[in-house]
Amino acid sequence: MRVPGPHAETADRVVSELGSDPQRGLDGAEARARLQSQGPNELRGAPQVPGWRKFLGQFADPLVVLLLAAVVVSLAVWTANVVTAPSTAPYMKSRTYSGERFFQVVRVRRSRCAPT
């Protein structure tokens, strides 16, 4: 009872090939017989993909793998610098002193140039 390419045929031809009547449809006995022989008129759903597989599928792209490798290298370099780098406190302290020194020099020069 398969119709090859029913989309290309007229509706009346498809109905007659399937052994039905466009006005009445199938009678009850024929409907039960087809249900027994061919099963219910339902489409089978696609199998569900588990969430963990969808998540891991995101990392299949080579660019994503490259970016993750860059993150790992960046974190490794950062942690190595944090452990081995000297403290910045002495540097900041020297900058503060040089800033104070600058204003002292400006004040002295102003006082020298001030009229007496």
Taking only the tens place, the pLDDT of each residue in 37-89 is 989 988 888 899 899 999 888 888 999 999 999 999 999 988 887 666 666 66
Dist. CA 55–CA 48, nearest whole Å: 14
> Which stretches does DSSP call E strand in 15-107?
none
Residue 31 and residue 49 in contact, taking contact as beta carbons nearer than 8 Å: no
Dist. CA 50–CA 68, nearest whole Å: 23
DSSP 8-state code for residue 22: T
Query: For position 95, what pLDDT does the model report?
Result: 57
- Model pTM? 0.35
Dist. CA 35–CA 38, nearest whole Å: 5
